Chains A and B, each alone.
Chain A
Amino acid sequence: MTNTTESFFQSNRGIMSETELEKVSQTRILLVGLGGLGGHLANSLTRLGIHSIVLVDDDRFSSSNLNRQLFSSTENLGEYKTDVVLRELKKINPDIELVAYHLPVQDIEVSVFDTVDLIIDAVDEIKTKLFLETMGKEHHKPLLHGAIGGWYGQMGISLPGSNLIHDFYGGAGKGLEKALGSPTFIPPIIANMMVAEMIKFLLGRSPNLANQMMMADLLNHEMRIVSKAR
């Protein structure tokens, strides 16, 4: 363990034992989407001490991202999000192992899914969210799902074999996020709630969102589990 990694453990102790911190940090992550949710997820995962992250996003930063996407700035508009995030994460922890694809996730080598322990859905297209659940099923990997819009968020963990995400979205039309917008403060809150759920899941702590979907309403002060996978 390097000095950089050792220093992460200092302040993350308290809610986890040293063994638990080690277990969480050794989890290899595939993070798909580096926008509002994804940028904050990448930041928190790195500061948690995660050693290995595969980053996937085919988009570039634009001015409309500045209100909420953590790593966007006027200095990197037009750059691939993967390039910027990789660079910034290395500044936080130079020892972190990062692989980046500036491709749609559907175009990366399928074998990548076998090199990770957990897939994280931080994308903004429902068809891609469904694709990720399918890949999780085929490669026997759990999927941590997240979505946001307006004052609201939703999250859940789809275990391999479940249809949590397909059942949740199935048959319905569009999400509300286009009409509700993407305010500054929602991505970091929901992203870090997802990180908390990830930690609990990895450590087997209850309650956690394995095969359950929770909705968070920050306007009306409510979090509620709305569905469970059959």
Chain B
Amino acid sequence: MVKVVFLNLLRSKYGIEQLDAHPGSIHEVLEEIRVLHPEIDEKDFAEALVFVNQDRISHGNRFLHKVSDGDEVVFTHFLGGG
């Protein structure tokens, strides 16, 4: 299984800290999560960053990126304030 972690705003909004999902593309992982949690709005992921095993996945292709059994996927948003 793939460990999926929501951080910061996503965690605060949905109250979800961590979930397991089946391996596949990031898009497929998100779709699986949304079946379990239909309250999740896909628009909240429009600007989300994706990290797989602490590697930042290229923003343009992130939903196509494939994750495997044992991977950790983190969804979050960056901050820019000072």
Chain B proximity of A68: nearest CB distance (Å): 10
Identify A226's interface contact among B17, B54, B81, CB under 8 A. B54
Please judge, given known A-B contacts A124-B80, A175-B78, A175-B79, whether A180 and B54 are in contact too, CB under 8 Å. no
Contact A177 B9 (CB under 8 A): no
Contact B80 A129 (CB under 8 A): yes
> CB of B41 within 8 A of chain A?
no
- Which residues from chain B contact A188 at a C-beta distance below 8 Å? none
Which A residues between 157 and 181 are near B, CB-CB below 8 angstroms?
167-177, 180
A178 closest partner in B (C-beta): B81
A129 closest partner in B (C-beta): B80
Residue among B12, B74, B78 with max Cβ neighbours from chain A (10 Å):
B78
* Contact indicator per residue, chain A 209-230, by CB within 8 Å of chain B (1) or not (0): 0000001010110101111101
Interface residue SS majority, chain B:
mixed
CA distance A160 to B51 in the complex (A): 22
Chain A proximity of B67: nearest CB distance (Å): 15
- Which residues from chain A contact B58 at a C-beta distance below 8 Å? 170-171
Contact B79 A152 (CB under 8 A): yes
Please judge, given known A-B contacts A123-B82, A225-B54, A226-B74, whether A172 and B12 are in contact too, CB under 8 Å. no
CA distance A163 to B76 in the complex (A): 19
Identify A147's interface contact among B56, B60, B74, B79, CB under 8 A. B79
Contact B56 A227 (CB under 8 A): yes
CA distance A115 to B82 in the complex (A): 24
CA distance A178 to B40 in the complex (A): 22
- Which residues from chain B contact A148 at a C-beta distance below 8 Å? 79, 81-82
A150 closest partner in B (C-beta): B9
> CB of B26 within 8 A of chain A?
no
Q: How many residues of A contact B (CB 8 A)?
A: 45
Identify A220's interface contact among B11, B59, B79, CB under 8 A. B11
- Which residues from chain B contact A126 at a C-beta distance below 8 Å? 80
Chain A proximity of B5: nearest CB distance (Å): 8
* Contact indicator per residue, chain A 111-125, by CB within 8 Å of chain B (1) or not (0): 000000000011111
Which B residues have a C-beta under 8 Å from some C-beta of A? 5, 7-9, 11-12, 17, 47, 49, 51, 54-56, 58-60, 74, 76-82
Q: List 16 A-B pairs, Cβ < 8 Å.
A: A123-B82, A124-B82, A125-B80, A147-B79, A147-B81, A168-B49, A168-B56, A169-B80, A170-B56, A170-B59, A174-B47, A175-B80, A175-B81, A177-B80, A226-B7, A226-B74
Q: A35-B82, A217-B8, A224-B7 known; 19 other A-B pairs, CB under 8 Å?
A: A36-B81, A37-B82, A38-B82, A124-B81, A149-B81, A167-B56, A168-B56, A168-B78, A169-B80, A170-B59, A171-B59, A177-B79, A220-B17, A226-B7, A226-B49, A227-B51, A227-B55, A227-B56, A228-B55
Which A residues have a C-beta under 8 Å from some C-beta of B? 33, 35-38, 121-126, 129, 146-154, 167-177, 180, 182, 215, 217, 219-220, 222, 224-228, 230
